[in-house]
Structure 1
Amino acid sequence: MTAFQHPRFAQAYVRASELADRRGAYAHRHRLLAGLHGRVIEIGAGNGRNFPHYPPSVTEVLAVEPDDTLRAHAVAQARSAPVPVSVVPGHADALPAGDGTMDAAVVSLVLCSVPAQSRALAEIARVLAPGGRLHFYEHVRSPRRATGLLQDLLTPAWRRAAGGCHPNRDTVAEIVRAGFEVTEIDRFPFAPQPPIPPLTHVLGTAVFKG
Structure 2
Amino acid sequence: MAKAAVSHPLFARIYPRINAFAEAHGSVEHRQEMLAGIHGRVIEIGPGLGSNFVHYPAEVEQVVAIEPEARLRAVAEQAAAKAAVPVEVRAGRAEELPADDDSFDVAVFSLVLCTITDVPAALAEARRVLKPGGELRFYEHVRSERPRFFRMQRLLNPLWGLLGGGCHLTRDTERAIQEAGFTAKEIRRFDFLINGRASPASPSIIGTARPST
Matched residue count:
210
Contact 2:142/2:172, CA 8 A, preserved across alignment: yes
The equivalent position to 2:183 in structure 1, one of 172, 178, 181, is 181
Q: Which residue of 1 aligns with 2:96?
A: 94
Sequence identity (%): 49
The equivalent position to 1:71 in structure 2, one of 65, 70, 73, is 73
3-state SS in 2 of match to 1:125:
helix
Q: Does 1:207 align with 2:213?
A: no
Contact 1:25/1:192, CA 8 A, preserved across alignment: no
Contact 1:39/1:61, CA 8 A, preserved across alignment: yes
3-state SS in 1 of match to 2:156:
helix
Contact 2:169/2:200, CA 8 A, preserved across alignment: no
Contact 2:104/2:129, CA 8 A, preserved across alignment: yes
String of CA shifts for 1:113-139, please: whole Å, max 9, x gaps.
000211110010110111110000000
- Determine the C-alpha separation between the residues in 1 that align with 2:92 and 2:5: 12
Structure 2 length-normalised TM: 0.94
- Determine the C-alpha separation between the residues in 1 that align with 2:44 and 2:149: 30
String of CA shifts for 1:96-154, please: whole Å, max 9, x gaps.
10011111100000000000211110010110111110000000000100111221222
| Shift, 1:46, TM fit | 0.4
- Determine the C-alpha separation between the residues in 1 that align with 2:152 and 2:200: 13
Structure 1 length-normalised TM: 0.95
Letter in 1 for 2:14: A
- Determine the C-alpha separation between the residues in 2 that align with 1:18 and 1:77: 14
| Shift, 1:191, TM fit | 3.9
Q: Which residue of 2 aligns with 1:154?
A: 156
| Structure 1 residue runs of 4 or more that deviate by more than 3 Å after TM superposition | 191-198
Distance change (3 Å), C-alpha of 1:73 and 1:116: same
- Determine the C-alpha separation between the residues in 1 that align with 2:204 and 2:17: 20
After TM superposition, the structure 1 stretch with the greater mean CA deviation from structure 2, 150-159 or 172-181, is 150-159
- Determine the C-alpha separation between the residues in 2 that align with 1:90 and 1:191: 33
| Shift, 1:196, TM fit | 3.6
Distance change (3 Å), C-alpha of 1:115 and 1:22: same
| Shift, 1:4, TM fit | 1.4
3-state SS in 1 of match to 2:44:
strand
Letter in 2 for 1:204: G
Q: Which residue of 1 aligns with 2:51?
A: 49
After TM superposition, the structure 1 stretch with the greater mean CA deviation from structure 2, 62-71 or 185-194, is 185-194
- Determine the C-alpha separation between the residues in 2 that align with 1:40 and 1:148: 34
Letter in 1 for 2:87: V
Letter in 2 for 1:124: A
The equivalent position to 1:126 in structure 2, one of 128, 131, 134, is 128
Contact 1:14/1:70, CA 8 A, preserved across alignment: no
3-state SS in 1 of match to 2:135:
strand
| Shift, 1:2, TM fit | 4.4
3-state SS in 1 of match to 2:62:
strand
